[in-house]
Chain A
C-alpha cells in the first residue's frame, strides 16, 4: 500500500472507524446518566431484596428458595431490560432524530457501524452489570448460586432477547421522546412479568403461565434453573428464542436510518 501524498500526518489512522466510534460512544455514554440506570437500579434492588430476605428468612411459597435466591435472576433480567430498552433505543432514536446518523452516512462509514458500536457498548455494560450483581449476590450476600457455562449461555440469550426488543422500539419510535414513552410504557409491565413484585411461584394459575411465556418471565425462569445447575425447561428457552427471532424480524422490517 503506497503512502498517501501530503497533507496527511497519519497518526489518526492508527485507530479504525469502528474502534473510534466505540471509543466516542463510550465517552459520550459515560457522560450521560442512562448508562448507569442498568447497573445501579438493579444493584439497588438487589440490596433491597437482600434486606427483605434477612427480615423474612426461610423459603418462599414452598419453592425451597430464599427471597435472595429467587429474586436474583429477576433482578438480572431487569438490568438487561433497562439497558436494552432505556439506553439503546433512546440514544439511537435521538441520533436519528437530530440527523447524526444522516451526517455519518455522508462519510465512507456506513451508519450500521454506529449502531454496532452502540450495541457492543451496551452489551459490555450488561456484562459489567451481570458481574457486579453476581459478585454482590454470591460473594457478598452469600447466595448459593452456580455460575457456569449454562448461566452465561442463558444470560447471553436473555440479553439478545431484550436488546432485540430495544431495537424494535428504536425502529418504530419516530423520535427520542416517543422512544422514551414507548420504552417507559413497556418497562413496567416487563418488570412485573419478570416477578419483581410477585414471583410466578407465588401466584400460580393463569398469571403464572402468562409470566412464564412473557419475554422477561421466560428469561427469569431459564436463569433460575441455570444458577441451580439444572437444565432450563426447553419451553423457557424456546420462548426466549422465538421472541428474539420475532423482535429481530420486526426491528429489521421497520428499521429506518433517517
Chain B
C-alpha cells in the first residue's frame, strides 16, 4: 500500500510545464438536469484557482468530480497526472478536501478530529503544529458542538490540510462567517499558498475571489462563462457603473442609444447604467441633449461583482430582468 503511494508524482518533478490539474469537456447530469456541461480548464501548480458562480451553477459538482467523490458522465480529468476515478485511492492521499456543509460528530473534540485525520494519511503534518498555525490550539479539547461558525470552519480547513496535501479543495470556505472570521480565513489561505499548495477555491463571494485567486473560472448553468484572472475578468466585463437621478423620466430606448451603455437598472428614483468607456460623461451629455438634468451622480469602476452579474445575466436571462441586484 505504501509502495503505491510513493508512485504519486513527486512534488518537484512536475512543477515546470505540466498543469497540476486538467479538466477537459467535463459533463455530469443528474437525471435530465445537466449540472456540468462541457467544462474545461487547467490549474497551474501552486496557484489559487477560484471557481465562482451563482448557487446551483455546478461548482460543487465540478470539484466533487475532481476529488473523485462523483463519477463524471464524460470528459477527462487529470490530477497530478492521475485519474480521480481510476486512481482514487492514490489521489486521496495528496488531495485535501473541505466539503460544503459537512459537520463532525457533535462530541468529537477538535484535537481528536485532527489527530484522527492525521492517522488516515501516509505523511501527515503534526496535528499540534497545525492547530498552532491555524490559531486554534485553545480549541483542542473543545467539542465540535461548542465551536462557533468561524472555529468550525478553521477546524474544517485543518482537516483538509493535516494530510499535508499538495492540492487543497475548499468549498464555500467562508459561507456563514462573520467579516472578521472571513478575513482571518483569507489570511490563512494565503499562508497555505506560500507553502506551495495548489488551492481550488469554490465560492460565490466575489470579494473573496478577487482577493485570493490567481485565476478564475466563472461557471453558470454548468457552463464556463469566463476563464481568466480576476483583473482581466473585471476589465472584460466593462464593469463601469453610473448611478443618477434624472430630473424627468427617461425611457430605456433613450438610455440604450447612449454610446457604451449596455445595461440598465432602475430602483426607486435611481437609474443605474452599466457599460464601457467614459460612461458618466456620455450619460450627462446625451441626457442634456434630451432636456433631462442629472443629479446625485455616482460613478465607479467595476468590481468582480459587476462582472459576475453582467456575465451571468447576459448569457442566461433576457436583459429585462432588472432590479435584482
Q: List residues of chain A with CB under 8 Å of any chain B CB.
A: 1-2, 4-5, 7-9, 11-13, 15-17, 19-21, 24, 27-28, 31-32, 91, 94-95, 98-100, 102-109
Contacts and interface: CB of A to CB of B under 8 A. Distances in A.
A20 B115 contact: yes
A7 B125 contact: yes
B105 A107 contact: no
Contacts of A91: 105
B69 interface: yes
B186 interface: no
B164 A98 contact: no
B149 interface: no
Interface in B139-164: 143, 159, 163-164
Contact of B102 (A5, A100, A108): A100
A68 B105 CA distance: 40
B277 interface: no
Contact of B126 (A5, A12, A28): A12
B123 A4 contact: yes
B103 interface: yes
Given A20-B115, A27-B112, A109 B120 contact: yes
Contact of A24 (B93, B99, B108): B108
Given A94-B105, A108-B93, A102 B112 contact: no
B77 interface: no
Contacts of B46: none
A142 to B, nearest CB: 40
Given A98-B102, A107-B117, A109-B120, 5 more contacts: A13-B124, A17-B120, A99-B103, A100-B105, A104-B120
B56 to A, nearest CB: 18
A99 to B, nearest CB: 3
10 contacts: A4-B122, A13-B124, A15-B119, A17-B120, A24-B116, A28-B108, A32-B107, A98-B105, A99-B102, A104-B120
A17 B119 contact: yes
A103 B92 contact: no
B101 interface: yes
- Closest 6 A-B residue pairs measured CB to CB? A99-B102, A20-B119, A98-B103, A106-B97, A107-B120, A4-B123
A68 to B, nearest CB: 37
A195 B124 CA distance: 53
> Which residue, A4, A9, A98, A108, has most C-beta atoms of chain B within 10 A?
A108
Nearest to B108: A28
B72 interface: no
Instruction: Report which residue of B116, B126, B127 has the largest number of chain A beta carbons within 10 angstroms of its beta carbon.
Output: B116
A17 to B, nearest CB: 5
A7 B125 CA distance: 6
Contact of A20 (B93, B116, B143): B116
Q: Which of B3, B89, B97, B105 has the most CB of A within 10 A?
A: B105
B69 A12 contact: no
Contact of A8 (B67, B93, B120, B123): B123
Contacts of A9: 126
A180 to B, nearest CB: 15
B121 interface: yes
B48 interface: no
A122 to B, nearest CB: 15
Contacts of A24: 108, 112-113, 116
Contacts of A31: 107, 143
A12 B107 contact: no
A7 to B, nearest CB: 6
B105 A108 contact: no
Contacts of B93: 108
A103 B116 contact: no
B320 interface: no
A11 B95 CA distance: 22
A181 B99 CA distance: 29
A146 B120 CA distance: 44
B105 A12 contact: no
